[in-house]
Structure 1
Amino acid sequence: MANPLRVLVVDDDPGMREGMALSLKRAGFVTEQARSGEDALRLTRPGAFDAVVTDLRMTGMDGLQLTARLKALDSGLPVLLVTAFGSLDTAREAMRLGAFDYLSKPFGPDELVQAVKKAIRSDDRLRAEAPGEAPVILTQDPALAETLALARRAADSKATILIQAESGTGKELLAKLIHASSPRRKAAFVAINCAAIPENLLESELFGYEKGAFTGATSAKPGRFEQAEGGTLVLDEIGELPLALQGKLLRAIQERTVDRLGGSRPIAVDVRLIALTNRDLATEVKEGRFREDLYYRLNVIPLRLPPLRERPADLELLALHFAERYSRENDRPTPALAPSFREALGRHGWPGNIRELENAIQRCVVLNPGDALTGADLAWLLGPEGLEGLPDDAELPPPPVMAAPAAPLPAPPPPPVPAGRDLRVADPHEPLKGVPLGTLVALPLGIPLPELERFWLLSTLWALEGNRTHCSQKLEIALRTVRNKINEYREAGFEIPASGHGRDTD
């Protein structure tokens, strides 16, 4: 029976946090809860969770900051952001930081569960590959094709391989290809990120420990070297390995043995080692941050993956691949790539490389309502600074769901006023003050829902002289929700009426 999937729920609102956790438990997930971003980081270790659901606005570390820290800890971990105050800028920033999706409140339990399931299905770590089946790396670039040919030739050997490339270029995918092309393909493929695990835990993760080796070691545990026995061990971000551990790693490579913490004898291991880094290790050696002898032990077969900006011929190929993939996943027809879209691809530097391109295409497929992706779609997604010299394309405007109206819609004519009732024509950006409850209010059509919500809540609060409890009762929403929104509006610069009712405060 498969192990249940684990989800971490992060929110500083206990009611919201517990509600999301309960919905996920009922769907069969195992959940843990964190009341802040700091608590979430203390709970998270590589492989500890299959997905994270976090609120955007929290006291202290917010959801965007937490997303960046989690992706640095485990780049494959799907993160879902939840908020009642969404915006296009926030969505862009969340995508840039690697968030999988963006849920706007209010949402139902089924919507949350489906979003989490979709995020986990998308996680490459959980996609089963048939034994011996090598992953496909798409390219038309001659330099990358040469690297792939060299990698396949090296796969048959026992030599250690060092892959140096920028983040997002597919270093681990290349390592999987080497493993799947080697005689070890039916054995374990084990990866560890040396930068994501605290230094005081990294040694035990690599080499294992015996029972009683330290407080809390209630049983023996094999390290990653032993877990990869007969197969391949990938050391990601090897340039971040502390100097204190570099000597022990060198000995393990030379002697083909490991010493568990608290152990009395060395344990023989047979593993194929592949090291990955986005640093120039030769420079790290010169500056004294990396051992020279370990560098030469690792650099037996050096491989380099070119960044995406050096692979212009692959941009369209990869864009089509991701468009087809995410169209299938979302049960949509695959959109064509308009000429302006193809041109726009080459006008962005893609500093996040393939990972950034994949996220961009996924977002375009999900949000584009038409049958073709245009340059305007990509310009909207990346922001005005994202594309250099993109020509104006009057025939290909942004999709309606992505574009804001050029100007506010005019207010409709005032409706007939019942006898004895007052009518006020209001600006939705200016909550009414001192207007009694029951007053008729006319607002323009086309006002975004969050702005309407803010107008009615603050206007009602002013009418009730700041009484939070009466406001929650009148609007039929939780008092906690009223207080949370008041805090949000105060941070945004709106004036909040003081409450003169004792404990009825923020």
Structure 2
Amino acid sequence: MANPLRVLVVDDDPGMRDGMALSLKRAGFVTEQARSGEDALRMTRPGAFDAVVTDLRMTGMDGLQLTARLKALDTGLPVLLVTAFGSLDTAREAMRLGAFDYLSKPFSPDELVQAVRKAIRSEDRLKAEVPSEAPVILTQDPALAETLALARRAADSKATILIQAESGTGKELLAKLIHASSPRRKAAFVAINCAAIPENLLESELFGFEKGAFTGATSAKAGRFEQADGGTLVLDEIGELPLALQGKILRAIQERTVDRLGGSRPVAVDVRLIALTNRDLATEVKEGRFREDLYYRLNVIPLRLPPLRERTADLELLALHFAERYARENDRPTPHLAPSFREALTRHPWPGNIRELENAVQRCVVLNPSDLLTHKDLAWLLDPAQMEGLPEDPPEPPRESPFQRPLEEDLPDRPAPAGDFRIADPAEPLKGVPLGTLVALPLGIPLPELERFWLLSTLSALEGNRTHCSQKLDIALRTVRNKINEYRDAGYEIPLSGHGRED
């Protein structure tokens, strides 16, 4: 029996949220609910849900912002927006950000269910068309979107492709996407950097050699052309090829054969060739550094990746994507980007393109102990003139305290045993209180003591599961671990099962 499909329903209106969830449950979906965009992000991980239904207008993060964040986190997740304030401009913006569909209130339960089913079926079809190992290229930029569409159309052919772009823009990633979308996807994908191999070794790497072809050739070896037979060969930095080798590459393309060093007969090869370069090959031809006939052989389908400075609409999307990734890898809180941080991103020219942006965001996430990134986190990257006039960040909204939540939302559904509730002694409110006891606390308790009692009580109620404890209290798992070690060293009883479970 197939696993039921899971849908996350996001709305700050409890009645609307419950109504949509109930309609989907009756149709056979498993649903979970989030009362804000921030809650939805905390609940979402790649593969956790088959679809998300979110209201457009919500307090805090709205539906459009949530859509962009969700698509950065999981590009294959279908998102449906619902609202009573529909407009053509809003619909266009929703589609641009990656939303699958847009429902205007009022709508019937059947309309909602059919829209969700259509979104999931469409995503399943796309997954069937493109293999799961295909890389993901995130963009909201119209020029890059057009390039990606052209690349997908060209993938079905045998034509040679020339990708010209600056370093760090993702040329090899695009080559992998073309291969994964092509009929050759199950065959080899072989890449060689022509600038990284000494000239006297490059020919043997490309074309292979026979035993005894030169000193040290103790056995025959197939070159990259033969290794890619039936698949795709990527020649990175092809503009660095010496002229003598350019002629041999041209012959291999024309004849579909290669000559091994020391070989007596040509070897037939069937490869799809993709050439990458950060140089302008047309200029290289004019200046005599690149063969004109080879250039025309390579330039059958030319593709250009725009530099990051021309993709300003993608800066926030990519920054969020990298911030989410490195927060997970380093056990940091889910980061938010302050207005000043987003503005600061646009003031740097990013000469290293996406590679530089990724490294910069990784540094910000690792070095910032909070979950809010501001322009100050980029001060090391920008000069004083670029830092001037950045918008003032509004005060960070107070994070919801677990003390303000209804108790039944924070502890498992289980009846409290008799005598498990007491009024604390104002003089020593927490002294001698068994772990897991529900206590009416008076005012004036020192914060460290209150923090310890709340964390250990919650941990006890959750049977020692540290991961669930961090989720219930909305604090980082690393913080839970550190506090547990601190309390253990101070001699407190730690309610853990074994060494403490994190499942």
Paired residues of 1:193 and 1:236 also in contact (CA < 8 A): yes
> In the TM superposition, what is the alpha-carbon distance from 1:269 to its structure 2 partner?
0.3
**Any idea what the Cα deviations from partners look like across 1:446-473, whole Å, max 9, x if unmatched?**
9999999999999999999999999999
Paired residues of 2:204 and 2:223 also in contact (CA < 8 A): yes
Q: Could you state the TM-score of these two structures normalised by the residue count of structure 2? A: 0.53
Between the aligned partners of 1:108 and 1:488, the Cα distance in structure 2 is: 54
**Any idea what the Cα deviations from partners look like across 1:164-223, whole Å, max 9, x if unmatched?**
000000000000000000000011100000011100000000000111111111111110
Bigger shift: 204-213 or 482-491? Answer: 482-491
Between the aligned partners of 1:495 and 1:87, the Cα distance in structure 2 is: 58
Paired residues of 2:435 and 2:460 also in contact (CA < 8 A): no
Paired residues of 1:368 and 1:399 also in contact (CA < 8 A): no
Paired residues of 2:56 and 2:63 also in contact (CA < 8 A): yes
Between the aligned partners of 1:332 and 1:502, the Cα distance in structure 2 is: 20
> In the TM superposition, what is the alpha-carbon distance from 1:385 to its structure 2 partner?
7.2
> In the TM superposition, what is the alpha-carbon distance from 1:235 to its structure 2 partner?
0.3
Residues 66 and 400 of structure 1: CA distance in aligned 2, closer, same or farther (over 3 Å): closer
Residues 46 and 374 of structure 1: CA distance in aligned 2, closer, same or farther (over 3 Å): closer
User: 1:169: which partner in 2?
Assistant: 169
> In the TM superposition, what is the alpha-carbon distance from 1:248 to its structure 2 partner?
0.3
> In the TM superposition, what is the alpha-carbon distance from 1:301 to its structure 2 partner?
0.2
Between the aligned partners of 1:481 and 1:105, the Cα distance in structure 2 is: 42
Residues 178 and 57 of structure 1: CA distance in aligned 2, closer, same or farther (over 3 Å): closer
Tell me the C-alpha RMSD between the 2 structures. Answer: 16.5
> In the TM superposition, what is the alpha-carbon distance from 1:371 to its structure 2 partner?
1.5
Residues 56 and 196 of structure 1: CA distance in aligned 2, closer, same or farther (over 3 Å): farther
* Percentage identity across paired residues of the two chains: 91
Residues 450 and 216 of structure 1: CA distance in aligned 2, closer, same or farther (over 3 Å): farther
Bigger shift: 229-238 or 374-383? Answer: 374-383
Paired residues of 2:465 and 2:501 also in contact (CA < 8 A): no
> In the TM superposition, what is the alpha-carbon distance from 1:379 to its structure 2 partner?
1.6
User: 1:248: which partner in 2?
Assistant: 248
Paired residues of 1:364 and 1:377 also in contact (CA < 8 A): yes
Paired residues of 2:190 and 2:228 also in contact (CA < 8 A): yes
Structure 1 outlier segments of 4+, above 6 Å: 1-130, 397-405, 413-420, 422-504
Paired residues of 2:460 and 2:496 also in contact (CA < 8 A): no
> In the TM superposition, what is the alpha-carbon distance from 1:380 to its structure 2 partner?
2.7
Paired residues of 2:131 and 2:181 also in contact (CA < 8 A): no
Residues 204 and 102 of structure 1: CA distance in aligned 2, closer, same or farther (over 3 Å): farther
User: 2:485: which partner in 1?
Assistant: 487
Residues 355 and 246 of structure 1: CA distance in aligned 2, closer, same or farther (over 3 Å): same
Residues 155 and 119 of structure 1: CA distance in aligned 2, closer, same or farther (over 3 Å): closer
Residues 498 and 68 of structure 1: CA distance in aligned 2, closer, same or farther (over 3 Å): same
> In the TM superposition, what is the alpha-carbon distance from 1:370 to its structure 2 partner?
1.1
Paired residues of 1:377 and 1:398 also in contact (CA < 8 A): no
Paired residues of 1:210 and 1:262 also in contact (CA < 8 A): yes
> In the TM superposition, what is the alpha-carbon distance from 1:333 to its structure 2 partner?
1.6
> In the TM superposition, what is the alpha-carbon distance from 1:262 to its structure 2 partner?
0.5
**Any idea what the Cα deviations from partners look like across 1:44-81, whole Å, max 9, x if unmatched?**
99999999999999999999999999999999999999
> In the TM superposition, what is the alpha-carbon distance from 1:133 to its structure 2 partner?
3.0
Q: Could you state the TM-score of these two structures normalised by the residue count of structure 1? A: 0.52
Paired residues of 2:179 and 2:232 also in contact (CA < 8 A): yes
Bigger shift: 229-238 or 59-68? Answer: 59-68
Between the aligned partners of 2:5 and 2:364, the Cα distance in structure 1 is: 29
Residues 158 and 464 of structure 1: CA distance in aligned 2, closer, same or farther (over 3 Å): closer
> In the TM superposition, what is the alpha-carbon distance from 1:306 to its structure 2 partner?
0.4
Residues 129 and 469 of structure 1: CA distance in aligned 2, closer, same or farther (over 3 Å): closer
**1:396-435 equivalent positions in 2, closer than 5 A:** none
Between the aligned partners of 1:456 and 1:242, the Cα distance in structure 2 is: 69
Stretches of structure 1 lacking an aligned partner (at least 5 in a row): none
Paired residues of 1:469 and 1:479 also in contact (CA < 8 A): yes
Question: For the pair shown, which has the larger CA radius of gyration, 1 or 2?
Answer: 2
> In the TM superposition, what is the alpha-carbon distance from 1:5 to its structure 2 partner?
39
Residues 225 and 376 of structure 1: CA distance in aligned 2, closer, same or farther (over 3 Å): same
Residues 472 and 114 of structure 1: CA distance in aligned 2, closer, same or farther (over 3 Å): farther
Residues 435 and 38 of structure 1: CA distance in aligned 2, closer, same or farther (over 3 Å): closer
Paired residues of 2:237 and 2:276 also in contact (CA < 8 A): yes
Paired residues of 1:76 and 1:124 also in contact (CA < 8 A): no
Residues 241 and 73 of structure 1: CA distance in aligned 2, closer, same or farther (over 3 Å): farther
Stretches of structure 2 lacking an aligned partner (at least 5 in a row): none
Paired residues of 1:379 and 1:387 also in contact (CA < 8 A): yes
Aligned length: 496
Paired residues of 1:434 and 1:463 also in contact (CA < 8 A): no
